[in-house]
Structure 1
C-alpha cells in the first residue's frame, strides 16, 4: 500500500474542460449550483496527515472564485461553486452531506428507506433538524444511465470502490466524471481494504473525520465542520480520560443477525472508520482474531468465546425489537449461558458506515454500554428513537450539533 504522497493520483474531470486521465493532470470544471450565504469562504488549514487542498478566500460572487480540494484516490478536483445536488453510494458519505446541511440534497444512496428510518432514530434528538431520504434511488448497484438522469453536481462516492463492486472499468468511471460531475469520495478506508491494481498507487486511507474535513472543504462548509469537529474532539478526550486500564475492559462481540441461523461477527478494534465508534473505547475483542470478519457463527461459538458484552448492529433500526432479540438469546439453552446474556449486556447498535453525526451518538452510547460505571448507565432500550439521556449525563451537546447542521454556528 502506498504511503501518503502527491504523486500518481489521477484528477477527476468535471463537466466542462474535460481532460482524459493520464496520471496527475490539472483540470478546471464547473459544478452547477450556488449555496449563497451558506458558503464558507474562510481559508482552512491542511489536515495533519498531509491531505493537500488548494482553497480560495475569494467570495462566491467574484469573477474567479474557483477552488480545489485533493482527496485520494481522485486526486485534485477543482470547483467553481459548491455542489447542490449530491449522489452517494454508502451512508458514511450521505452522513457527511447531512452533517453539512445537505441531507435533503441527496439524489441517491444505498437502501434509502432503511437508512432513512435508522438515521431518523438519532435525528429525533437534534432540535429543529429534519431528514427525509425515503424514496430516493437505491444506488447499491447503480445503472450508468441513471447517473445521467440524476445529473448530480457531485458524486460523493469512491470510484475505486465502485470499480471493485460493479466491475466498472476506468474508462466508464472517467466518462461519468467528464460528462456529468466528478467523483469525490473514499470508501476503502472503511477497513483499509486493498484497492485493485489500477488504483493501488493512488490510494490513501483516512479516518472518518479526516475525510469529512475534505468533504466540507469541497462544499465550502468550513464553519460547520469546525463546530462539529470541536464536539468530536471534546467527546473523544472525555472518553480517553475515562477508559479504564486494558485488564479491566470487557470482552466484546459485535454481531448482526436477521435471525439466529445467520449471526455475522465483526472485529471491534481493527483499523478503518467502521470502528470509529468502538476503537477509541479500547474494548477487547472476544474472538481475539480467531474468527474472520463477517464470519457466520452459532450460539456454540459465542459460548466458546463467551463475550462480556454483545453489541447488536441494526438494533436501533425501527423494525427491530431488541426485547424480542434478547428473549431469543435468553430462551436458548446454549446462548443463555453466554456471559453477556446472563448479565443483560446485549445492546443495540446502529450502523458501521456512519457519518459524523451517527459517530457522535454511537461513541456516547457505546461508552455507556461498555463502561457504565464511568460514563453513566445506558437505558434499557427495546425500540424507538435514541433514548432521552438526562442532560447532565450526556457526553456531547445536542444543541451545538443541531445548530451546526442548520448553519447557526
Structure 2
C-alpha cells in the first residue's frame, strides 16, 4: 500500500495537466454552489446524494473515474491532482485531441491506472489514499456486490469524500439507499460542484460565460425544426448498433440535445442506459446522419466503421452511408472543455449551412483546425482561463 501512495503523490512533480496557482486566494469565495467555509481553512460543498461534503483543504490527490471529471479538473487548473482514470489510453488521448487546439493546455495520462478495471474495492481506495473520490457512491452500490452504505461511509470518513452523480448521465434510477435524496444535475451544474471542491469559482464562472455565449450563438442560428435532419446516435458493434438517445435529459446528451435534431430512433425503446438494434431496425429508421459515438477516440477508426457499413447488405442501403454522412462523434463522458468542442463539432456536422462546414476527421489526428471566423468559441480565451485563471474575453 505504501508504494502505491508514494507513486501517486510523487507523480505530481511531472504532470502538466493544469496550474493550481491562485487556489488559496479563492478559497473563501462563496457562490450559488452550496459552498461555505468555517474560517479554519476547511469548507463544505453541498451535493446530492452525499449531502454536506467536508474538506479540510483543496484536494491535491483526486481519484478520478470517468473522463468528464478529469476534464473538469484540467479546466479548473487542477489536472495535476488527477491520480487515476477509467480507460486512460482512450480517455486521456481523446482529451488531448481537443487540448491540442488550446495553447498551453495538456493532460499527462500515460502513468494513470484504471480504478474500475477490476471493480471498486476498499483496499484499492486505501492504496490510492485520495483526498477526494470523483465517483458517485450510488454507482458503487449499483455495480459492486460487496459494498453497502456502511462501506461507503467508512471510505468517506477514513480516506476522503465521494463526489459524483453518475445517474445524471441519462437520469437513470439510483441505488435504493439514495432514492429519496438523489438529484439530477446538468453537465455544467456538476462542473459547478467540482469547482466548489477545488475552490475555483472564478474559473468556473469564466468558462460558463464562454459556454453561455456559445449556446446563444447556436440557439439563434438553428434552422426550423422541419428543416432539421433525422439523426441516429450509435456505435457500431459486431453486427449490431449500440444506440443512445439524442434529445432526452442527462449530460450524456450535452452536445446533441442543444442542437435539436430529429431523433431517428426516438420510437425505439430500451430499458438500460443504452440499447442495441440490428441493421434492419436501423434501415427502417434510415437516418439522414449517423453520429458514431466514440468515433473520435482511438477505440474506433471512423474509416473502418464506414467500410463495414458499406460492405453490409442492409448497411449499404442506409441514406447516411450513401450520402457520406456517417460521422465521427465524441465521448459521452465530456467535461466543460470537451463539451465546447463537441457542441461546435456537432453543430457543423448537422447544420453546415448555418455553422460552417465540418472539415472531417481522420483517425488518430487531433481535433481539426477550424478557421477563426468559423469557430463557435474563442480558443485563446478558453486557454487563458485554464492556464492562468484570467478571462481575456471580459
- Provide the aligned C-alpha RMSD in A: 1.7
TM-score under structure 2 normalisation? 0.88
Q: Does 1:122 align with 2:107?
A: no
Question: Between Structure 1 and Structure 2, how many residues are aligned?
Answer: 364
CA deviations over 1:37-65 (Å, ceiling 9, x no partner):
33324634315xxxx33247x6xxxxx23
What SS does the corresponding residue of 2:231 show, helix, strand or coil? strand
Inter-partner Cα distance in structure 2 for 1:65 and 1:288? 50
Q: Does 1:188 align with 2:174?
A: no
1:9 is aligned to none
What SS does the corresponding residue of 1:37 show, helix, strand or coil? coil
Inter-partner Cα distance in structure 1 for 2:276 and 2:139? 24
What SS does the corresponding residue of 1:263 show, helix, strand or coil? strand
Inter-partner Cα distance in structure 2 for 1:300 and 1:334? 7
1:143 is aligned to 121
Q: Does 1:385 align with 2:366?
A: yes
1:65 is aligned to 41
CA contact (8 A) 2:202 2:389 kept: no
CA deviations over 1:170-203 (Å, ceiling 9, x no partner):
0111111111111122111111111122111110
> Aligned runs of 1:5-404 on 2, under 5 Å?
37-39=22-24, 40-41=26-27, 43-46=29-32, 52-55=34-37, 64-140=40-116, 141-167=119-145, 168-257=147-236, 259-292=237-270, 294-318=274-298, 320-383=300-363, 384-404=365-385
Task: Report the CA distance between 1:226 and its aligned residue.
Answer: 1.1
Inter-partner Cα distance in structure 2 for 1:310 and 1:122? 21
CA contact (8 A) 1:118 1:317 kept: yes
Inter-partner Cα distance in structure 2 for 1:242 and 1:267? 23
Task: Report the CA distance between 1:155 and its aligned residue.
Answer: 0.8
What SS does the corresponding residue of 2:59 show, helix, strand or coil? coil
2:5 is aligned to none
CA contact (8 A) 1:260 1:298 kept: no
CA contact (8 A) 2:101 2:379 kept: yes
Inter-partner Cα distance in structure 2 for 1:195 and 1:327? 39
Q: 1:371 to 1:71 in 2, by over 3 A?
A: same
Task: Report the CA distance between 1:260 and its aligned residue.
Answer: 4.3
Inter-partner Cα distance in structure 1 for 2:93 and 2:278? 29
Task: Report the CA distance between 1:350 and its aligned residue.
Answer: 1.6
Inter-partner Cα distance in structure 2 for 1:104 and 1:302? 43
TM-score under structure 1 normalisation? 0.85
Inter-partner Cα distance in structure 2 for 1:36 and 1:320? 37
Inter-partner Cα distance in structure 1 for 2:28 and 2:220? 33
1:22 is aligned to none
Q: What are structure 1's unaligned runs of at least 5 residues?
A: 1-34, 59-63
Inter-partner Cα distance in structure 2 for 1:142 and 1:123? 30
CA deviations over 1:47-104 (Å, ceiling 9, x no partner):
5xxxx33247x6xxxxx23222101111112223111110122222222112112223
Inter-partner Cα distance in structure 1 for 2:343 and 2:197? 26
CA contact (8 A) 1:104 1:133 kept: no
CA contact (8 A) 1:121 1:318 kept: no
Task: Report the CA distance between 1:146 and its aligned residue.
Answer: 1.5
Task: Report the CA distance between 1:354 and its aligned residue.
Answer: 0.8
What SS does the corresponding residue of 1:280 show, helix, strand or coil? helix
What SS does the corresponding residue of 1:107 show, helix, strand or coil? coil
